[in-house]
Amino acid sequence: MTNVNTEKLSSARFAEATDAFVEVFTASVDFDKRMAQQDIQGSMAHAKMLCKIGVLTDKERDDILSGLEKISTEIAEGQFNWSVKQEDVHMNIEARLTDLIGIAGKKLHTGRSRNDQVATDIRLYLRSEVEHIAKEMTRLQRALLNLAEQEADTIMPGFTHLQVAQPITFGHHLMAWFEMLCRDQERLQDCYKRINVMPLGAAALAGTSYPIDRHMTAELLHFSRPSANSLDSVSDRDFAIEFCAAGSLIMMHLSRFSEELILWTSAQFDFIDMPDAFCTGSSIMPQKKNPDVPELVRGKSGRVTGHLISLLMLMKSQPLAYNKDNQEDKEPLFDTVDTLINCLRAFADMVPHIKPKKASMYKAAKQGFATATDLADYLVRKGMAFRDAHEVVGQAVRLGITTQRDLSELDLAELQNFSPAIGEDVFQVLSLEGSVASRKHIGGTAPDTVRQAIHTARKALKHLDADPD
């Protein structure tokens, strides 16, 4: 047949034009154009390598490089004419290059395929986004350290089962969040190592018959090394799944963090004041100040976990090597990146403005017999077995409940009724300050220990790029 659609990709193979709906249905340009600059970067490295091995002349290489440079500017300036007919970002750029420089443009695809090209683009893209995310996380971590330092002595109740358990310091609580983010950072850095491997050269699936220099392209693109197996390189998206898993954990942490902020701003807790700039009012209730930012972040954690599951499902049944299924990897991945950056940014901006309501926190710590364990430990120090001490304190708590007094408000004589071992020194133990100050081992809530933890954490953060100090 001669009546072929000349616009169609690999057109000579086809006798019929693509169905108009199928053309749109199979196209990815609307979303993968986001990787345009990475696609150009990859093509530039590929062209340089092809020239070095003698596949392109110097002139062809230079034409390709300047053509790609121009395309890069057109895209950056919003002048590029994206076409669904060209299916994806790769074909759009190649077609424009051929428009601009003629035959040399048609030589760029020698020894490569869109399969290794797209795998390379995603890795280049994700690599820089991981750096961006890590920076926002560091900013949030720094904000937490600063607030923790200011609030190292601020007493609040610590909870288990959302019931008042023992007094802690607000600084200590903030440092718990900090620790979660440290592990999140480690996960990101670890997954970065596996992102940073170069698939280019795997071509469609089996490599290429040209004597390509993969070390050269890997070096030009700052990858740690070329990938080891061509089939694996073009097909697996485990690095993206791993990233989404790390992202889901980050969001899970931010969601827990949000949940606490939301509870704490409520009139029932009244532990903190949230900056007005991060809250909104109600359209009907004039008195309302809603903690929208943490609520939204808590809500958004769901979609990131959803993206993780999407990618796992996308991958799990694919035979080697590349399948078109993989085109579906991008939207979940991009949305994960956007959500992470936006949520981390909102938190990093908001945390410095969180104001604890110290009196209210203190009052809450006073209720709920938060120093009961301290009294039991005191009796143990006086020679009583812990189980017996537990019993004695239970009785004292019962008296407190019936007479509506905290343990520290019971008389010495009353306490001595429960155990003659109790002396005047018990009141230091029953005070909130005494309780927190006594927990001064590594990982404890004592103000000095918290300050030490902050100091150690600051030193550990120093090696990160985002460190402005």
- Residues acting as catalytic residues: 161, 282
Q: How far is the CB of 173 from ligand ARG (least distance, A)?
A: 44
The answer to whether 326 contacts ligand ARG (rule: CB under 6 A) is yes
Exposed/middle/buried for residue 52 (C-beta within 10 Å: 0-12, 13-18, 19+): middle
Which region, judged by CB under 6 A, interacts with ligand ARG, from 298-306, 318-326, 389-397, 452-460? 318-326
Task: From residue 423, give the alpha-carbon distance in Å to each of 104, 430, 432.
Answer: 93, 12, 18
In the list 118, 130, 137, 376, the residue contacting ligand ARG (rule: CB under 6 A) is: 118
Other C-beta atoms within 10 Å of 373: how many? 16
Length of the chain: 469
Decide the pairing of beta strands 163-169 and 197-198: unpaired
Rounded to an integer, what is the distance from CA 437 to the centroid of its chain?
Answer: 34
How far apart CA 344 and CA 297 sit, in angstroms, is 9
Q: Which is nearer to ligand ARG, 114 or 173 (CB)?
A: 114
Q: How far is the CB of 209 from ligand ARG (least distance, A)?
A: 19
Q: Which is nearer to ligand ARG, 223 or 322 (CB)?
A: 322
The answer to whether 43 contacts ligand ARG (rule: CB under 6 A) is no
How far apart CA 215 and CA 200 sit, in angstroms, is 10
Which region, judged by CB under 6 A, interacts with ligand ARG, from 142-150, 277-285, 324-332, 425-433? 324-332
**Is the four-CA dihedral 347, 351, 355, 358 of positive or negative sign?**
positive
Q: How many CA atoms lie within 13 A of 138 on its CB side?
A: 21
How far apart CA 303 and CA 146 sit, in angstroms, is 30
Q: By CB under 6 A, what part of segment 62-91 binds ligand ARG?
A: 88
Residue whose entry in the numeric block shows the structure tokens 């931010």: 254
Q: Which is nearer to ligand ARG, 265 or 327 (CB)?
A: 327
The answer to whether 28 contacts ligand ARG (rule: CB under 6 A) is yes
The answer to whether 121 contacts ligand ARG (rule: CB under 6 A) is no
Which region, judged by CB under 6 A, interacts with ligand ARG, from 46-54, 112-120, 174-182, 369-377? 112-120
Rounded to an integer, what is the distance from CA 418 to the centroid of its chain?
Answer: 52
Q: Which is nearer to ligand ARG, 114 or 123 (CB)?
A: 114
Q: How far is the CB of 271 from ligand ARG (least distance, A)?
A: 48
Q: Which is nearer to ligand ARG, 89 or 297 (CB)?
A: 89
Which region, judged by CB under 6 A, interacts with ligand ARG, from 253-261, 321-329, 399-407, 443-451? 321-329
In the list 18, 32, 218, 257, the residue contacting ligand ARG (rule: CB under 6 A) is: 32
Instruction: Give one DSSP letter per residue of 48-85, joined into a string.
Output: HHHHHTTSS-HHHHHHHHHHHHHHHHHHHTT-----GG
- Single-letter amino acid, residue 205: L
Question: Is residue 190 within a helix (H) or strand (E), and if so which, with residue range?
Answer: helix 170-195
Q: How far is the CB of 71 from ligand ARG (least distance, A)?
A: 18
Question: Is residue 226 within a helix (H) or strand (E), and if so which, with residue range?
Answer: strand 225-226
Answer yes or no: are the C-beta atoms of 326 and 314 closer than 8 Å.
yes
Q: How far is the CB of 45 from ligand ARG (least distance, A)?
A: 18
Q: Which is nearer to ligand ARG, 278 or 322 (CB)?
A: 322
The two three-digit tokens of residue 370, written as one number: 């938060």
Which region, judged by CB under 6 A, interacts with ligand ARG, from 72-80, 113-121, 139-147, 281-289? 113-121
Which region, judged by CB under 6 A, interacts with ligand ARG, from 57-65, 167-175, 280-288, 319-327? 319-327
Decide the pairing of beta strands 163-169 and 155-160: antiparallel
Contacts with ligand ARG: how many residues (CB under 6 A)? 10
In the list 265, 327, 336, 419, the residue contacting ligand ARG (rule: CB under 6 A) is: 327
In the list 46, 61, 114, 237, the residue contacting ligand ARG (rule: CB under 6 A) is: 114
Q: Which is nearer to ligand ARG, 207 or 368 (CB)?
A: 207
How far apart CA 437 and CA 449 sit, in angstroms, is 9
Q: How many CA atoms lie within 13 A of 458 on its CB side?
A: 14
In the list 18, 43, 115, 230, the residue contacting ligand ARG (rule: CB under 6 A) is: 115
Would you call 406 helix, strand, or coil by DSSP? coil
The answer to whether 217 contacts ligand ARG (rule: CB under 6 A) is no
Residues paired with residue 459 on neighbouring β-strands, in sequence order: none
**Is the four-CA dihedral 319, 128, 328, 199 of positive or negative sign?**
negative
Q: Which is nearer to ligand ARG, 124 or 365 (CB)?
A: 124
The two three-digit tokens of residue 77, written as one number: 């300036």
Q: How far is the CB of 128 from ligand ARG (least distance, A)?
A: 18
Identify how many contiguous H helices and E strands the chain contains and give both numbers. 20, 6
Exposed/middle/buried for residue 44 (C-beta within 10 Å: 0-12, 13-18, 19+): buried
Which region, judged by CB under 6 A, interacts with ligand ARG, from 180-188, 320-328, 346-354, 374-382? 320-328
| Residues forming the site for ligand ARG (CB under 6 A) | 28, 32, 88, 114-115, 118, 322, 324, 326-327
